Structure 1
Amino acid sequence: MAFTRATGKHRAPSRLTRRSANLAGVAALATTGVVGSFASPALAADADAPSAEDTGLTQIVTMDSLADEIAAQAAAQKKEAEEAAAKARARAKAAAEAKRRAEARAEAAREAEERAAREAERKRLNSFRLPVAGSYVTTGYRAGGALWSSGSHSGVDFRAASGSSVVAVGSGTVVEAGWGGAYGNNIVIRMNDGTYTQYGHLSSIGVFVGQQVTPGQQIGLSGSTGNSTGPHLHFEARTTAEYGSDIDPVAYLRSHGVAV
């Protein structure tokens, strides 16, 4: 009987087909017990098996390794960025804390300075001084003589050349500023402690009724107006604004810390 082959283009058997045939041959030889020298051709047939390059395994492994490396680099960069951000936050926090402490110290210093200034001003306003700086008493309290209508001196006289500055001995409010008869031009101040002081025989007056005055503030200039024998300052301390309520002016000033 004659065999015919189907018409068409003849193709060589594929590697997979050849490998399958070779494996079948090896199996047949093993069944008949013939293995010996024929084993080599069977193993050699495996050389025709698809290579790793043909299957694409090497490329897949290579791509996976590259992806892992990129991922590792990205993770490392992310970690570095997070650490840098954490350090930046820590520095910013430390700087903010340092600024806060500096501001707190500055505020405390400012408050201390303000307290010191207030205390100094309080002491100044509560302080007393001589009505004429550097002067001294020339006629004492209760000195007798015909010069005074009451028969005695109701205040003390401080040496003061005409035109010398006369100042408030302490803080208070002016209750009288003008002509005072025998006192000439005079000023009466109600002191903050409730007492009164009087300044007489002035050549000029520099304050007005209702004005607030402080220790050492100039209120007028000394002179010899009214019942006076020459330039000087007549100074009185009183319990009221009225004549006759006088108290010892030297004791009064000394009780307020003034050296007289």
Structure 2
Amino acid sequence: MSAQGKHRKPSMATVVRIAIAAGVAGAAIGLPVTAASAHTAADQGANRPSTVSVDATPVADQAPAAHDYRVVSGDTLSKIADAQHVDGGWQKLYQDNHSVVGGNPDLIFPGQQLTINGQAAPAKAPAAPAKAPAAKSATDAAAKPAAAPKAATQQAPAAKPATTAPTAAKVQPAAPAPKAAAVAPAAPAKAPAAATTSSNAAYVAPAPGKVTTGYKVAGSNWSSGYHTGIDFPVATGTSLKAVAAGTVVSAGNGGAYGNQVVIKLADGKYAQYAHLSSISVSAGQSVTAGQQIGLSGATGNVTGPHLHFEIRTTPDYGSDIDPIAYLAAHGVNV
């Protein structure tokens, strides 16, 4: 065999070796790809828990539910707000109950109904009605086509009242003439009766209820030695009325009388109201019978809330007359 032939055999072996090496290299090259794929799958599995929503955690209760509270003796808005844990304090409580308390937050009295955390209730109430109309609207939508023809039918008769209106108008001109003649003589007869009624209605009681301490009751509690007026046992905050039309001559602090109002009445007499918790009028102001002049209270020298009422011949202390007899003379019994 020639030397050239010997050389070719080793060449074939070399080719085989190269092929084997190429296979091994291919396997080596494939390994990183598989590892990368495995790594990517692992990463995806690791990231899956991050998609869980944190909203699944229950939310804690927020504000306490709204409820009512009835005022008892000794209560103030501040005490109620602290005891009921009102968010925003007595100012928030007063804001929610302004229509009940009125213009003076310091003046509340037993029996008043207050709303605690009042803004919580309105938010829940509309939720139920909101769903009910949705259910009805689906039914109404189907009913509307049937109702539409009826609406058209109802509009047609509307023209008929228009034709009857002229008929009524024609009857009216003839009717007034005889009636006017018949009523005219009767009017003068009723006028005197109305005048008598207005005379009695010109006076009203200064406060509700009956008198407890009468006029000129003797006792050491009064500097004059006797009671110069009459007392009405009304709770603090009771509305007090002008007994008749007149002009306010003083409104303010009256010393032992506390907050007081003195009104000069049309007949020249003076009405005095004492121990008021608040005053609603000012000096120089004209008032009418039954108009509120203030609210009862316990200011000045008192043992409890009430109205002290006097009728005087002058605006000053010591000119008092019997208020019970005076009011009775004008149709008011107390």
TM-score, length basis structure 2: 0.43
5+ residue gaps in structure 2? 1-170
In structure 1, the gaps of 5 or more residues are 1-94
* Structure 2 residue corresponding to 1:239, chosen from 313, 316, 320: 313
Correspondence 1:211 to 2:285: yes
2:221 to 119, 140, 147: 147
The whole-number CA distance in structure 2 between the counterparts of 1:102 and 1:207 is 51
Q: Which has the higher contact order (CA 8 A, sep 6+)?
A: 1
> CA 1:99–1:258 in 2, change beyond 3 Å: closer, same or farther?
closer
> Which residue type is aligned with residue 205 of structure 2?
L
Deviation of 1:119 after TM superposition, in Å, equals 4.2
**Distance change >3 Å, CA 165–CA 106, structure 1 → 2:** farther
Percent identical residues: 56
Instruction: Decide whether aligned partners of structure 1 residues 189 and 234 sit closer, same or farther in structure 2, where only a CA change above 3 A counts.
Output: same
1:127 corresponding residue in structure 2: 202
Equivalent residue in structure 1 for 2:262, among 152, 166, 188: 188
- Residue 324 of structure 2 is aligned with which of 222, 237, 250? 250
Q: How does 1:51-200 map to 2 (within 5 A)?
A: 98=174, 101=177, 119=195, 122-123=198-199, 127-133=202-208, 135-200=209-274
Larger Rg belongs to: 1
CA distance in 1, matches of 2:176, 2:230: 60
Deviation track 1:145-196 (CA, whole Å, cap 9, x = no partner) reads 2221112111111111111111111121111111111111001111111111
Which residue identity is paired with 1:217? Q
Q: Give the direction of change, closer, same or farther, for the CA distance of 1:123–1:256 in structure 2 (3 Å limit).
A: closer
Give the Å deviation of 1:107: 9.8
Mapped partners of 1:166, 1:202: distance in 2: 9
Question: Please, what is the CA RMSD of the aligned residues?
Answer: 3.3
Q: Deviations 1:1-26 (Å, cap 9, x if unpaired)?
A: xxxxxxxxxxxxxxxxxxxxxxxxxx
Q: Classify the secondary structure of the residue corresponding to 2:271.
A: strand
Rounded to whole Å, the distance in 1 between the matches of 2:183 and 2:325 is 44
Change in Cα spacing, 1:121 to 1:210, as seen in structure 2 (3 Å) is farther
Shift of 1:122: 4.0
Amino acid at match of 1:132: A
Shift of 1:101: 2.9
CA offset digits 1:84-142 (Å, max 9, x no partner):
xxxxxxxxxxx9x9588379569959x88x96998488436x62221112x11111111
Alignment of 1:13-52 (within 5 A): none
Paired with 2:176 and 2:324, the residues of 1 have a C-alpha distance of: 55
